[in-house]
Structure 1
Amino acid sequence: MFFVRFDFVDGPLRITTSREGLFYVGLLLSLVFRLGYDDGPECISNWSPYGEYCYYVNNQVAYTYEQARVNCLNEYATLTSVLSTEEQAFHKELIATYYVELWIGLNDIETGDTWIWEDGSNYSFSAWNPGEPNGGDTENCTHLFPSGTWNDKPCTATIGYICKRPKGK
């Protein structure tokens, strides 16, 4: 059973979904983007450009992984994926001044020891801190250390996060 709920009452769009409903939210968002929703070629205020994407860092309020995931969806984004050495270097530079841990969109919540990206990207690049991942069944979500390396952490921990979305969206 899955659900997707869109709320427009008294404020910005809020999307609530079951894990299974995430596929349908992604499908809907990709359709919206293909239909030409465009705020321009660059990123809006408080979002940082890199390549074809815009990135938003929330380091002010701590959230669980699920809360961070939903917050990104509410911004027509996903928790960030890191797909190359170059993108990893960008993330390291992006967070260099924050000195905090931040959620990224990599988890093995439903797949055991198989790590998947929230945005559906192929998991072929990694930047795990030495000895990681090491959490077994208790640490199923991934965050960036201030050094830019990754660590697995309990999904119920509360830290900041990074969202990623295509430019102009």
Structure 2
Amino acid sequence: MAFAVCSFFLLCGINGLLTGVWPLPLSHWKIINCPDNTWTQLDCYCFRYQDTAMSFVDAEAACIALDGNLASVRSDLENALIVQLITAGGMEAQAWIGLHDAIKDDDFIWTDGSFGTFQNFDSTNTEPENSGDCVEIKTSGLWRDDPCSDTNTFVCIVDLCNGGNPDNPNNCT
């Protein structure tokens, strides 16, 4: 048995020499979790609903104070999770997410600097309503733009791989 185990490790070492690939140390493989139990994790991201109504700018500042940003949404699944978070209290509500076109009209960007093509504006409009520069998500899951000075609850996001955990700058997906 000992011979088999030694042979296995010897073969792994030879394979590493031949391929130039060495296994990463155990300290590299960390289980990364959200900051605490008030966050909900989905893949490499933690989401947190804040039920205090604030303007868009104040909401972003509150998220930054939590080492995050207003939530960027990259998929239907993340959109559905955010809807679940804002409806968990059983109230009809809408919440700020981190999308805005305050710099250039109809050029929407995320406050965390992420890129993505996913959008979920109300399909009855061919484009956002142009009623404001900041985007809220409704309990229907659809988005609409509103004046940034309006007050809404909001959802924060922390990127565990690149932004929220300086000890692990690696991509964890």
Q: Same fold (TM over 0.5)?
A: yes
Name the structure where helix makes up a greater proportion of residues.
Answer: 2
Count of paired positions: 128
**TM-score of the pair, normalised by structure 1:** 0.70
Long gaps (5+) in structure 2: 1-30, 166-173
Q: How does 1:124-163 map to 2 (within 5 A)?
A: 124-130=117-123, 131=125, 132-135=127-130, 138-163=131-156
Name the structure where strand makes up a greater proportion of residues.
Answer: 1
Q: 1:120 aligns with which of 105, 113, 116?
A: 113
In the TM superposition, what is the alpha-carbon distance from 1:87 to its structure 2 partner? 1.6
Query: Could you say what the CA RMSD is over the residues aligned between the two structures, in angstroms?
Result: 1.9
Q: Does 1:46 align with 2:54?
A: no
For residue 69 of structure 2, what is the aligned residue in structure 1? 78
- The one-letter code of the counterpart of 1:67 is D
CA distance in 2, matches of 1:89, 1:145: 11
CA distance in 2, matches of 1:106, 1:163: 12
Report SS of the residue matched to 1:112.
Answer: coil
In the TM superposition, what is the alpha-carbon distance from 1:90 to its structure 2 partner? 1.9
Percentage of pairs with the same residue: 31
Q: 2:48, 2:85 within 8 Å by CA — same for their partners in 1?
A: no
Q: Does 1:88 align with 2:83?
A: no
**TM-score of the pair, normalised by structure 2:** 0.68
Report SS of the residue matched to 1:72.
Answer: helix
In the TM superposition, what is the alpha-carbon distance from 1:154 to its structure 2 partner? 0.3
- The one-letter code of the counterpart of 1:134 is E
Q: 1:142, 1:150 within 8 Å by CA — same for their partners in 2?
A: yes
- The one-letter code of the counterpart of 1:87 is E
In the TM superposition, what is the alpha-carbon distance from 1:41 to its structure 2 partner? 2.0
CA deviations 1:100-153 (Å, max 9, x no partner) are 110000000011110001111114111112325112xx5000001011111100
CA distance in 1, matches of 2:85, 2:43: 14
In the TM superposition, what is the alpha-carbon distance from 1:162 to its structure 2 partner? 0.4
Q: 1:103 aligns with which of 96, 104, 115?
A: 96
Long gaps (5+) in structure 1: 1-39
